[in-house]
Structure 1
Amino acid sequence: MSKLNILFALAGLFCAFDANAQNARPKADCIKVCVGEKEMNWLFRPAHLARMKKIQDARRDATDPAHLAALQKEEAEELERYADKVQDVCENICRNNPP
């Protein structure tokens, strides 16, 4: 029985010392890949799409040029806010990667 325990202990030590971690991706590459992931932004996407649909419906119904310009500005701000949120999440995920 003790030979079997020694064999398991040696096998465990071998596995522990033989394990290799993946090479860390540079932070800039990590962020670039993260921002490009379509599945990455599942957290913010439904709310963003709802706000965009609301703005686009209002633009479709608006006739006043000043109101159209305000809605266009609001749409651009929403797109920028969404991109900033995704960028922040990706920077948080990649914060421990080497520079």
Structure 2
Amino acid sequence: MRLIFSMVVALLLACKSGGNSSGSNEVLRDTIFLPSDPIHDTIYLMDIKKSDSLKRVNDALAHRLLATELTLNQARYYVKITIKNPSQTKFLKGWLRRVLDL
């Protein structure tokens, strides 16, 4: 990115210096050196990728945690029904199977 920027600046300065017909003794530079550190640029990009990856992992874990919590709450609900009314115990196995299949 810095290389592209420095090339554009150099091109603009070269175009501007080519049209200098004022006759002044002004020295125009056609190249500007911009120090660049490709190692730090790469590390910065890697940090961005890591943070995106961690965000995706955390989102996925949060989704799985929510799904597990909802499954447990639904199973608890069916167990409470069978505790209150023992005649419903015969349906508990089917209810729990249905909850775990979702």
After TM superposition, the score normalised by the length of structure 2 is: 0.39
After TM superposition, the score normalised by the length of structure 1 is: 0.40
